[in-house]
Amino acid sequence: MSKTPAPTAAELAILRVLWRDGPSTVRDVHEAVYAETDTGYTSALKLMQNMLAKGLLTRTDDARQHVYAAAVSERPTLNRLVGGWIDTAFSGSSLALAMQALDARPVDADELAQLKAMIARLEVTDAPTSKPRKGRA
């Protein structure tokens, strides 16, 4: 288990920008996350400084500005968040989470095709076999 705390919703918005765009200045992140809000630059700066202290971000100096980068990887971070939701909100059921997600927001034809492809892959990789595969318990 990671010692880094799970990001809050506000921290996750910043991480998503950094995962997508790579190392960025506070100004870049502020424009990407808060352009359509009343949230000021200094609020974004303080949040990113707090994330640095928590170990969610790293910072380097580039000339006269600080450049921040995600210190945590996207997939493990999101898996940890979703795992927590599965445990707390859905009594440990991945199916219940998936069904709720599909009920909460419509999926378009492309997303539905992606879901079907994922299910097909899971059926192949998780199909019961007469003998255990390597790496599986």
pLDDT on residue 126: 73
Pick the closest to residue 72 from 83, 61, 58 (CA basis).
58
Are 44 and 34 a contacting pair, CB within 8 Å? yes
Are 68 and 57 a contacting pair, CB within 8 Å? yes
89, 93, 95, 97 alpha-carbon torsion, rounded to 10°: 20
Consecutive H or E run containing 65: strand 65-70
pLDDT on residue 133: 44
Helix ranges restricted to H, the chain: 9-21, 26-34, 41-54, 74-89, 94-104, 109-125
pLDDT on residue 80: 93
pLDDT on residue 128: 63
Domains and CATH numbers, the chain: 9-70 (1.10.10.10), 75-125 (no CATH)
pLDDT on residue 129: 58
Whether 135 has a pLDDT exceeding 50, the answer reads no
Please tell me which residue, 129 or 1, carries the higher pLDDT value: 129
Measured distance CA(24)–CA(15) in Å, rounded? 11
Interval 88-131: pLDDT, tens: 999 999 999 999 999 999 899 999 999 999 999 999 887 665 44
Interval 6-64: pLDDT, tens: 999 999 999 999 999 999 999 999 999 999 999 999 999 999 999 999 999 999 987 88
pLDDT on residue 134: 47
- Give the predicted TM-score (pTM) of the model: 0.79
Angle between helices 26-34 and 41-54 (to 10 degrees): 110
Pick the closest to residue 18 from 62, 64, 52 (CA basis).
52
Measured distance CA(43)–CA(30) in Å, rounded? 9
What φ, ψ does residue 72 adopt, rounded to 5°? -120, 145
